[in-house]
Amino acid sequence: MKGPNPAAVSELTYTADEMMTVAASRTLRDGMTCFVGIGLPSAAANLARATHAPGLVLIYESGTIGAKPAELPLSIGDGILAETADAVVSVPEIFNYWLQPGRIDIGFLGAAQIDKFGNINTTVIGGDYARPRVRLPGAGGAPEIAASCREVIVVVRQSSRSFVERVDFVTSVGYGSGPGDRERLGLTGAGPQKIITDLGVLEPDPVTFEFTLTGLFPGVSAAAAKERTGWDLAVAADPETIAGPSPAELDALRSLQRSTTNDR
């Protein structure tokens, strides 16, 4: 089967969020089990299932296993997830039987803040927990996902406010302060393997575990990524230029989004 015409792809227009969602979807492989959150992670997972990974098993925190929504769910409690699932189990079973023993291949997480070791904050902004500048929605199932999934992908828009030297509060542990911390804390999952942003992709250095810019989206420079990072971002010697969305990827993503807009 022939791939998309490069000339046609280069003429397409797409948003930074679409590029980020497509890049995240490409990390998912057919047959994997994926713990999905709402928002960009859900869009990426459903896009993967609609394109290159039809056998991807989507698991939502509400207890649905093997959900196959034809449109993006509005929340983890959206009825379309239960209606299309292979099974619906209790929330304790999702966590105690599926997640904590390491039975889920990959988890997708968002973040309000993330630091150079992949630690995530979704709890408070500001150093005083009792009187923060901003109180965020909180942890939900994210700490367990970060601890126990075999690998984790973080999807977050990049800015110096969200990419900080050290998070104000560690909601979900990445690599702590560096090598050895996950083992010391007894965390069984491998930890975050990629941070996918609206500019490119970061991956942990194999020695220091500090996140390094390894890939850039079309038209984005390493300098632009460094400007939107709150630490001295390390850049790979030869960052990959990641291909933009194909016509098939854009069509599938927009179809999922149109269904939600028009029908719900």
**Strands 234-241 and 211-216, sheet pairing:** parallel
**CA nearest neighbour of 185 among 136, 146, 135, 129:** 146
Residue 10 has pLDDT above 50, yes or no: no
Give the separation between CA 115 and CA 161, rounded to whole angstroms: 10
Give phi and psi for 106, each to the nearest 5: -145, 140
pLDDT recorded at residue 162: 97
Task: Encode pLDDT of 134-182 as tens digits.
Answer: 999 889 899 999 999 999 999 999 999 999 999 999 999 999 999 999 9
Distance, CA of 196 to CA of 220 (rounded, Å): 14
Q: What are phi and psi of 195, to 5 degrees?
A: -115, 120
Please classify residue 48 by burial: count the beta carbons closer than 10 Å to its beta carbon, then call 0-12 exposed, 13-18 middle and 19+ buried: buried
User: Is residue 9 very low, low, confident or very high in pLDDT (cuts 50, 70, 90)?
Assistant: very low
- What does the pLDDT look like over 197-255, one tens digit per residue? 999 999 999 999 999 999 999 999 999 999 999 999 999 999 999 999 999 999 999 99
CB 105 within 8 A of CB 55: no
The whole-number average pLDDT for the span 117-140 is 93
Contacts of 261 (CB under 8 A, 6+ apart): none
| CA atoms within 13 A of residue 98's CA, in its CB half-sphere | 28
User: What are 17-42's pLDDT values in tens digits?
Assistant: 999 999 999 999 999 999 998 888 89
Q: Which of 18, 61, 210, 249 is catalytic?
A: 61
Nearest to 39 by CA among 125, 151, 142: 142
Cβ atoms < 10 Å from Cβ of 128: 9
Residue 169 pLDDT = 96
State pLDDT tens for residues 65-101. 999 999 999 998 899 999 999 999 999 999 999 999 9
Q: pTM here?
A: 0.90
According to the model, what pLDDT value does residue 264 have? Answer: 52
Residue 61 known to be catalytic? yes
Rounded Cα distance between 50 and 253, Å, is 9
**Rounded to the nearest 5°, which phi and psi values hold at 92?**
-55, -35
pLDDT of 94-103, one tens digit each?
999 999 999 9
pLDDT band at 12 (very low <50, low <70, confident <90, very high): low
pLDDT of residue 192: 97
